A and B are shown apart, each in its own frame.
Chain A
Amino acid sequence: MSDLNATMARLERARPGKVILWTLLFLGGVVMITPIVFMASTSFKTGQEVFELSVIPDRPTLENYVFILQESKFMRWMLNSLWVATFSTASVLFFDSLVGYTLAKFDFRGRQIVFIAILSTLMIPTEMLIIPWYMMSRSFGWIDTYWGIAFPGLMTGFGTFLMRQFFMSLPDELIEAARIDGWSEFAIWWRIAMPLVIPALSALAIFHFLGNWTAFIWPLIVTNDPDIYTIPVGIASFNGEFQMDWEIVMTASCLATLPTLLVFLLLQKFIIRGIMLAGLKG
């Protein structure tokens, strides 16, 4: 009640222009999430109710979820996606920061060349590499393997560049002091430098994980076996199977969206800050 009173008081103080502005922005936001709300609500509807416009189903049901989890390989795809994205993100966090740190804090001949070479990979679009990657995967037997899906993204020029920027802002004295104390170079990086760039690491982790979770074209090419599909490839394969069972397809889409949405709602402030950070530095 006091909350409401405070709100009312604030509203009264606000100029009417602000209230209209707020309302317009809010309505715009409602339009933005309509497809998602619609998707979620349909996933709880029965086949007969699907074409009614109601947001809240008359007779909500979990049948569609049961169907998807039992009749399709959805759980399997979910685990595939999770495993590939986690593995790839761990690799990127380790190697991109190791390389970024080396380029930021070591003085050695050839540093500039390595930096420019890695930076130049940002200019090469993935699409140009997929045919050679596919040829490579065929000759090494990587088709239909997790490694095959993950290997192109195990290190990124973007992440290396981002981490280098952050490591450069750490004071050199810190590293010198640890050296004098007899720390190994690896320990200095892992135990002193890394904890100081956790905001950058989390931004990179979020970006990379999300990119992997939604990645489509490469997993589509490198997998033929439905047991190895990632979620996007699996959902695209519904095209033939469940053509017009909208409630089933909506349920699958909903399940695919749920994990990222939950993570976002839990870590909203953190994620937005990470995106701003990466956007401004990148």
Chain B
Amino acid sequence: MTDFWNRLTIGQKLAITAWLFLAIPLVFYITIRFYPTFEAFYVSTLKWNLLGAKKAIGFKNYIKIFADEDFWLVLWNTIKYALVGVPVSMLIAFVIAYWLNEIHFGHDMIRAMYFIPFLTTAVAMAWVWRWFYQPLPIGYFNIMLSWMGIPQQPFLKSVTQALYAIMAPAVWAGLGFQIVIFIAGIRAIPRSYFEAAEIDGAGRWQILREITLPALKPTMIFLTVVSTIGFLRIFDQVYTMSADSAGGPLNSTKPLVLMIYEFAFDEFKLGRASALTVILFMILLVVSLVQLWLMRKHK
């Protein structure tokens, strides 16, 4: 054995070492990542309730999903979370990051106040938010509305308001991360750009529009994609906060991941649930590809 090892060239020894280092990780990636990925595609073509026999039904799961009105409602809910949540959170985060970057006195303390929600557990905070949304004698939001003479709002119990009421804590929790990344992006812009612009007599607004914002484009693409994917995968808040039943009232807050969860683990329709995960995968893939394309175009 030692003879064999000694006869190898340095390059060969290094290659063997490399594969030795990679051996356990490769087993992990193959069994826990790649094989399950293919299995998800495979199960999506089955009719199967986990206990009974597997029955191959081709694309029937997908056909059933696309024929299901609930699916389109759920898909639209999911898109709404991202479509409203992303721009709202990005706008607030940018405004705060932009101004926070100019503050030196107590900078760390104020930044910490915005960042702390990012460290909370969604399931734990869901209880606090649920309380805030309660009707009058209890709920803080309704108490504040009553001070302003505005009538009580049903929030989580309303078909039109519940989705936004559940989105709010998600925006709240993600804001700190976005702010920190924005500040990092702003600080990475060479100071000379700003100095040159000031010498040229550019005003604050002009510097913001013509230097800061364009230079932040990679940061914005990164954050947009990360938070879009985050909102499209929303689950914890909906599962723990929605009224009546998970995703309620009347499915008005149900996102794709919750529908997957219910098909798979309440109704044990594993084939249908897997087909839904494939659809989710496709949607996220498109988002990621758009990011890659935008990044490349930017460079």
Contacts and interface: CB of A to CB of B under 8 A. Distances in A.
B264 A35 contact: no
A205 to B, nearest CB: 14
Interface SS of A by simple majority: helix
A210 interface: yes
Q: With a 10 A CB-CB cut-off, give which of B32, B100, B105 has the most chain A CB atoms.
A: B32
Contacts of A33: 113, 116-117
A186 B175 CA distance: 41
B18 A129 contact: no
Contacts of A36: 116-117, 120, 128
Interface residue tally on B, bucketed by range: 35 or more
B116 A128 contact: no
Contacts of B40: 128-129, 131-132
Given A217-B235, A257-B124, A260-B120, A276 B28 contact: no
Contacts of B113: 26, 29-30, 32-33
B132 A35 contact: yes
B115 A38 contact: no
Contacts of A186: 21
B122 A35 contact: no
28 contacts: A22-B105, A26-B113, A32-B113, A33-B116, A38-B128, A98-B25, A106-B18, A117-B29, A118-B25, A124-B37, A125-B280, A131-B264, A131-B273, A132-B35, A132-B39, A152-B32, A154-B28, A155-B28, A214-B121, A214-B123, A216-B235, A216-B236, A236-B123, A253-B125, A256-B121, A257-B125, A279-B177, A279-B180
Interface of B: 11, 14-15, 17-19, 21-22, 24-26, 28-29, 32-37, 39-40, 43, 50, 96, 99-100, 102-103, 105-106, 108-117, 119-125, 127-129, 131-132, 137-138, 140, 143, 169, 172, 175-177, 180-181, 183-185, 188, 222, 229, 233, 235-236, 239-240, 257, 260-261, 264-265, 270, 273-274, 277-278, 280-281, 284-285, 288
Interface of A: 7, 10, 14, 18, 21-22, 24-26, 28-30, 32-33, 35-36, 38-39, 51, 53, 95, 98-99, 101-102, 106-109, 111, 114, 117-118, 121, 123-125, 127-136, 138, 151-152, 154-155, 185-186, 189, 210, 213-214, 216-217, 221, 231-233, 235-236, 238-239, 246, 249-250, 252-254, 256-257, 260-261, 264-265, 268-269, 272, 275-276, 279-280, 282
